[in-house]
Structure 1
Amino acid sequence: MKLISLTANKETFHPIYFHDGINIIVGKQVTPTNKNDGNTYNGVGKSLILHLIHFCLGARKISSFEEKISDWEFTLNFIIDNKNYYCKRSTSKQNTIEFNGECLKPVKLQEQLLKLCFGLTQTPKNMTWNTLFSRFLRRYRSSYITFDAYVPKETDYNKILNNCYLLGISTQLIVEKNELREQQAKASTTEKAIKDDPLFRQYYLGKNDAELDKTDLEYRIKILEKEISDFKVSENYHEIKTEADEKSYQKRELENKRVLINNYIRNIENSEKETEDINLEKVIKVYQAAQIEIPEMVKKSLIEVTNFHKELLNSRNVRLRKELFRQNKLLKEIDNQIITIGKRMDVLLEYLNSHGALEEYVSLTKELNDLKNEIARINEYQHILKTYHDSQLDIKLSMMDKDKEADLYLEENIKYLDNLKERFQEYAKCFYPKKKSGLVIKNNTGENKLRYSIEARIEDDSSDGVNEVRMFCFDWLLLNCQVSKIRFIAHDSRLFANMDPRQREALFEIVYEGCKNEDLQYICSINEDALLSFKSMMKEETYKKIIQDNIIMELNDDNPTSKLLGIQIDIDLEDKGK
């Protein structure tokens, strides 16, 4: 894939026509300053070019385009395998893109481009057209922070996945380690669920013994099941219970009455025992003992009194005997009633003991269900815990196997990997012949999602200028691996802002030779002062051949018409879309 042109439907737009080799878009300033912070020439449209290329090739919707330059339509012409293609996209209707006459949704266009440029119909998750193509055209400010920062907020896993693919390193082991880590994360979620569940927590922390509780529950369930199995539901249970309660009350009343009658009978019997006949001779003997003589007249009176008293006692005893008979008869009747009620109560209680109310049956059933639910929860806990432990063990074993596979892969492909390292070092040495440099590719056996560790190193790489050189060398390596059919890379002027003149010169000499030998394109925007900074270091004819002859556009800040769009407008190029 090489770029041919970028045009628009507005006459004010400055069309860009690309050619093979180096393509330089220069930002010029009417009143130059000594500052070289990368922001001196902002607003002329250099960075916008890179965003428009992405836009035409299916990037996500850019809201600021719709708001600030509505009804603009951009067309990117390019070539793949000697066949011409074009993509046309409107800022007002960003949901469709015209691709060689066919209107496609952006996602469908990306599928087509993946197939055309990478020969891919399916890709691992997190490897898309946008993530791969962004490695050939850095467009965001954040893309110029580190050598492997291409997409904003891209994860380390995504970086390794996409970079390794373009370096020609197998992605299978990368994906497999990530999947194992995701399984491990799910297992950790399971562990957290166990800890958070009130029932599971008591077992997990060892406060209760699951097996002991399970055994106890099984015993209680067995007893309860038998009780329910023997349970007979009575439809008139409550009526029978009411009758049994009434009989019980009647019996208690009769028993209380019997106690009173028995006490009354004892009193009568005691009264009879206390009654004695008054004997006249005993009275006389009492007086004689006292040596008192009783006159005849008195004796006669005593006889009369004694006889009268006897009559009274006889009358009283007759009355007591009648009352005693009556009470005994009543007692017998009460005893008979108690016996009759007792027999009925035996029948009722026997029935109640062998039957129960529906509510009681429901209560027993509910209790049984509760116990079964509790034991089911314990079984669930044991199953989850076993699954969790088994999963952890399986993952650990798989991790060890995959670590070995990765070691073996690196050993088997040592020649290819050494070639990658040598090429990166070769590029870096063009900038810094005396600095240590190299590409480090290692098997990452740490507890993370990264199968490999890739570091592009240049000694003293804390310097901004060195960081930009490292960035370029890595991008140039990705392009020259030629895993895809993309035959160009593009850089914004930010790449050159912190480089010293010697580094800028070296970069253009590398890309000039590389484009010529490998039939590549190098596209960049650069400020005029950055170009002039190394002009004196090159021979005049060399500078003309490499730089002047390859300037395809100059953009000025003197007036709006000299800018890319030909109008004065501020667009948020860091808008990541919706």
Structure 2
Amino acid sequence: MITRIYANDKRFKAVEFQKGLNIILADRQTESDDKDSRNGVGKTTLINVIHFGLGSDLSKKVLPVEEIKNWIFYFQIELKGTLLTVSREISNAGIVEVSGQTDNLPIKPEVDEKTGLVFYKLSEWKKLLGICLFNLGGISEDKYVPTFRGLLHYFVRVGLDAYSKPFTYFRNQTSWQIQVSNAYLLGLNWRYATESQLLKDQDGAAKALNTAINNSIVPTKGELEAERVRLQKVVDKEEKELTDFNVHPKYAEFQSEANKLTIEIQSLNNKILILNRKLSRYEDSITSESEPEIANVSSLFEDAGVHFGEGVKKSLLEAKQFHLEIVTNRKDFLSAEIAEIKAKTSVSQSKIKQLSEQRSIVMNLLKTHGALEEFTLFQGELSAKKSKLEALKEKLTEIQSMTKKRKEIKSKRITLDSKLARDFEESKPAWEKAIEGFNENSLALYNHPGNLIINISENGVVKENAYKFDVEIPRSTSEGVGRMKVFCYDLMLVDKFAQSSGVDFLVHDTTMFDGVDSRQVAHALEYANTKGQESGFQYICFFNSDSVPHDDFSKEFSLDEYVRLRLSDKRPEDSLLGFHFELPRK
């Protein structure tokens, strides 16, 4: 039980709770106008403070953290028959300090050697609460398992959506959370709900792959096979090349030498080309050189009737001799030049031959060896191709096993159904007690009892979920009766756990009774008080003063006896925290 909540800041309105009915009342002042609101008095804030004490994460969305950053909240709570005082600071929310007898607790607190502070880390505090309130000891941190915080929300509901359906506490709550949590709370084997969810995951993956293939999002089996064959051939070829790859430590030097030899050979070839062009011109010139014909000149003048004298004829002979000497000298010069060009060409050709032989040796070495950098790069590229090939093979295996896997899933579901049916019968006393409790609660409020309905598989196969939960109350189409389904369910749960020394408090916000007939509200409060006194649990609820059904209570029932705290909307200091605040919009 939670017996007291207070804070180190005196503005906080401390509150004490007792067994049975506990009412937090928000008074509407007679002088308040329509613009005043009781939404800021702190009813929901107190629920969030309770959650904070019970291990919720600190959030600016539910508490004005900046305004209360120096606050410490204190909670007096009874665990395993021991009354503890628990404190949790806003500025150090990861630590929960405790005082009281802790020897009989299943998890021992830590002690600060310097300060003597006795405390739990937040994770250990939640683990302790899970064991003490829900007997969650021994459950590993696996996927799809019941958790303390997940179960607690059925006993301390927050928000409008939390009161829509008995089996959920927030909108879009996942199917597995609903299945596992409610199965655990009702005494069913929650592990079958977990197993069913795991099978659903596997089936979903198989369906997604099949859909992707059908929609051409991923390649077909035939396309993957073709790519595998092509890539396998490339990998085999490159593996052999890599095996034959010889690394030479001076590969770079040889490569540089080969380039140098190539440049030198090219230069010599260019030189020979120039020499050959020059040789061709000289050979043409020597061929075209001829002696002068003086007789032709004399004949030409004689035919014209001009006769040279002996002196003129002598001069022509001398001129002929002079030109003959010039031609002879030029032929001698050209012959010498041609001989020199041929000699130079021969030398260059010999040099080219020598250099070519040297280059051949170097190129052969380069051809049969490789550089270390090239080998490493080659090795990396081959490794990437091998990885791609393995991925292709895995994808092919996945596609090939898809049909087989779905058959296996169906087989496992049939097996699960068999185990589920057997266990459902064996756990009959537990879920029958839950059904009886719900029937009893609804009968106390209406002329006809409601039904808590628990079904398992359909036609011998667990298709989606291991369990199917529902509740029925006559006239449940109205919003008010729909809310009372939640009331009857929650009251059944807290009654069940309180009788087995588990969680023994139930907290409902004003939303619980929105739209409910005033007579049913009065009956519900009186009934919750009676059940709480009998079974030893607390029913903590919040009301606005003008929503209390004073005229519908029985004569012996006095509401004021159960009002533990009054809050007001008139002044900020009359609110829970002693000041008004605004939270960020969600």
User: Does TM, normalized by the shorter one, top 0.5?
Assistant: yes
State how 1:71-86 maps to structure 2 within 5 Å: 74-86=73-85
Contact 1:78 1:85 in 2 (8 A): yes
Residue 212 (structure 1) aligned with residue 230 (structure 2): yes
Instruction: Specify the SS of the correspondent of 2:254.
Output: coil
Task: Please point out which of 110, 135, 138 is paired with 2:154.
Answer: 135
TM-score by length of 2: 0.68
Using a 3 Å threshold, how does the CA distance of structure 1 residues 315 and 214 change in structure 2: closer, same or farther? farther
Which deviations, in whole Å up to 9, do the C-alpha atoms of 1:261-298 show, x marking residues without a partner?
43345445xx69x99x99xxxx9xxxxxxxxxxxxxx9
Task: Please point out which of 377, 388, 396 is paired with 1:381.
Answer: 388
Task: Please point out which of 238, 252, 274 is paired with 2:273.
Answer: 252
Using a 3 Å threshold, how does the CA distance of structure 1 residues 3 and 226 change in structure 2: closer, same or farther? closer
Identity of aligned residues (%): 20
Structure 2 match to 1:290 = none
Residue 439 (structure 1) aligned with residue 453 (structure 2): yes
Structure 2 match to 1:54 = 51
Cα distance in 2 for partners of 1:223, 1:103 equals 67
State how 1:144-183 maps to structure 2 within 5 Å: 144-150=163-169, 155-175=174-194
Query: What is the Cα deviation at residue 145 of structure 1?
Result: 3.7
Query: What is the Cα deviation at residue 499 of structure 1?
Result: 0.8
State how 1:411-490 maps to structure 2 within 5 Å: 411-415=421-425, 416=427, 419=432, 420=434, 423-424=437-438, 427-428=441-442, 431=445, 437-442=451-456, 454-456=469-471, 461=476, 463-482=478-497, 485-490=502-507
Structure 2 match to 1:113 = 129
Which deviations, in whole Å up to 9, do the C-alpha atoms of 1:94-133 show, x marking residues without a partner?
5543322534444442233223223435544685433322
Q: Which moved further from structure 2: 23-32 or 463-472? A: 23-32
Task: Please point out which of 555, 580, 583 is paired with 1:570.
Answer: 580
Residue identity opposite 1:16 in structure 2 = E
- Name structure 1 gaps, 5 residues minimum: 192-199, 284-297
Using a 3 Å threshold, how does the CA distance of structure 1 residues 446 and 309 change in structure 2: closer, same or farther? farther
Task: Please point out which of 417, 433, 450 is paired with 1:407.
Answer: 417
Task: Please point out which of 245, 258, 261 is paired with 1:240.
Answer: 261
Cα distance in 2 for partners of 1:314, 1:253 equals 36
Query: What is the Cα deviation at residue 18 of structure 1?
Result: 0.4
Structure 2 match to 1:287 = none
Cα distance in 2 for partners of 1:561, 1:236 equals 92
Q: Which moved further from structure 2: 359-368 or 372-381? A: 359-368
Matched length = 532
Residue identity opposite 2:148 in structure 1 = W
Cα distance in 2 for partners of 1:446, 1:381 equals 38
Query: What is the Cα deviation at residue 26 of structure 1?
Result: 4.5
Residue 97 (structure 1) aligned with residue 96 (structure 2): yes
Using a 3 Å threshold, how does the CA distance of structure 1 residues 188 and 319 change in structure 2: closer, same or farther? farther
Using a 3 Å threshold, how does the CA distance of structure 1 residues 351 and 71 change in structure 2: closer, same or farther? closer
Query: What is the Cα deviation at residue 323 of structure 1?
Result: 6.7
Residue identity opposite 2:130 in structure 1 = L
State how 1:12-23 maps to structure 2 within 5 Å: 13=13, 15-19=15-19, 21-23=20-22
Contact 2:519 2:552 in 1 (8 A): no
Residue identity opposite 1:411 in structure 2 = A
Task: Please point out which of 503, 526, 533 is paired with 2:543.
Answer: 526
Which deviations, in whole Å up to 9, do the C-alpha atoms of 1:348-377 show, x marking residues without a partner?
112223325999999987666655544433
Instruction: Specify the SS of the correspondent of 1:233.
Output: helix
Using a 3 Å threshold, how does the CA distance of structure 1 residues 226 and 182 change in structure 2: closer, same or farther? same
Cα distance in 2 for partners of 1:209, 1:15 equals 72
Residue 499 (structure 1) aligned with residue 516 (structure 2): yes
Structure 2 match to 1:194 = none
Structure 1 match to 2:552 = 535
Which deviations, in whole Å up to 9, do the C-alpha atoms of 1:45-86 show, x marking residues without a partner?
554543343333333336546555676655433333333223
Instruction: Specify the SS of the correspondent of 2:543.
Output: strand
Cα distance in 1 for partners of 2:242, 2:572 equals 93
- Name structure 2 gaps, 5 residues minimum: 101-117, 211-217, 300-306
Contact 1:62 1:575 in 2 (8 A): no
Contact 2:454 2:467 in 1 (8 A): no
Residue 353 (structure 1) aligned with residue 360 (structure 2): yes
Cα distance in 2 for partners of 1:188, 1:70 equals 50
Residue identity opposite 2:505 in structure 1 = F
Cα distance in 2 for partners of 1:239, 1:556 equals 97
Instruction: Specify the SS of the correspondent of 2:541.
Output: strand
Using a 3 Å threshold, how does the CA distance of structure 1 residues 526 and 406 change in structure 2: closer, same or farther? farther
Give the greater-gyration-radius structure (CA). Answer: 1
Contact 2:417 2:462 in 1 (8 A): no
**What RMSD in Å do the two structures reach over aligned CA positions?**
5.7
Instruction: Specify the SS of the correspondent of 1:86.
Output: strand
Which deviations, in whole Å up to 9, do the C-alpha atoms of 1:414-434 show, x marking residues without a partner?
333663556545544555566
Residue identity opposite 2:284 in structure 1 = N
State how 1:183-194 maps to structure 2 within 5 Å: none
Cα distance in 2 for partners of 1:575, 1:12 equals 24
Using a 3 Å threshold, how does the CA distance of structure 1 residues 364 and 188 change in structure 2: closer, same or farther? farther
TM-score by length of 1: 0.69
Using a 3 Å threshold, how does the CA distance of structure 1 residues 7 and 384 change in structure 2: closer, same or farther? same
Cα distance in 2 for partners of 1:404, 1:32 equals 67
Instruction: Specify the SS of the correspondent of 1:99.
Output: strand
Instruction: Specify the SS of the correspondent of 2:516.
Output: coil
Cα distance in 1 for partners of 2:17, 2:559 equals 16
Task: Please point out which of 245, 258, 262 is paired with 2:283.
Answer: 262
Using a 3 Å threshold, how does the CA distance of structure 1 residues 447 and 215 change in structure 2: closer, same or farther? farther
Contact 1:438 1:457 in 2 (8 A): yes
Query: What is the Cα deviation at residue 490 of structure 1?
Result: 1.9
Structure 1 match to 2:304 = none
Cα distance in 2 for partners of 1:362, 1:464 equals 86
Cα distance in 1 for partners of 2:397, 2:419 equals 28
Using a 3 Å threshold, how does the CA distance of structure 1 residues 184 and 238 change in structure 2: closer, same or farther? farther
Which deviations, in whole Å up to 9, do the C-alpha atoms of 1:183-225 show, x marking residues without a partner?
899999999xxxxxxxx99x99889945435635765786798
Q: Which moved further from structure 2: 5-14 or 345-354? A: 5-14
Cα distance in 2 for partners of 1:484, 1:124 equals 26
Task: Please point out which of 560, 564, 569 is paired with 1:553.
Answer: 564
Using a 3 Å threshold, how does the CA distance of structure 1 residues 244 and 74 change in structure 2: closer, same or farther? closer
Contact 1:425 1:439 in 2 (8 A): no
Cα distance in 1 for partners of 2:397, 2:501 equals 42
Using a 3 Å threshold, how does the CA distance of structure 1 residues 402 and 466 change in structure 2: closer, same or farther? farther
Instruction: Specify the SS of the correspondent of 2:506.
Output: strand
Using a 3 Å threshold, how does the CA distance of structure 1 residues 221 and 339 change in structure 2: closer, same or farther? farther
Using a 3 Å threshold, how does the CA distance of structure 1 residues 347 and 222 change in structure 2: closer, same or farther? farther
Residue identity opposite 2:270 in structure 1 = Y
